[in-house]
Amino acid sequence: MKLLGAEVRVVESGSRTLKDAINEAIRDWVTNV
């Protein structure tokens, strides 16, 4: 992912599952678009 320019972040909210990571990524995307 880093090779494609993605920034990898640790999910601090929820139980830190893949579902929580996806929710955080979408939240961040909506905020910054």
Decide if pLDDT at 1 tops 80: no
- Tell me the residue range of the domain where 7 lies: 2-32
Mapped to the 3 state alphabet, what secondary structure does the chain carry?
CHHHCCCCCCCCCCCCCHHHHHHHHHHHHHHHC
Decide if pLDDT at 31 tops 90: yes
Q: Which pTM was predicted?
A: 0.62
pLDDT of 11 reads 85
Decide if pLDDT at 10 tops 90: no
Cα separation of 15 and 31, whole Å? 22
Domain total in the chain: 1
The pLDDT of 4-29, averaged and rounded, is 88
The pLDDT of 9-13, averaged and rounded, is 83
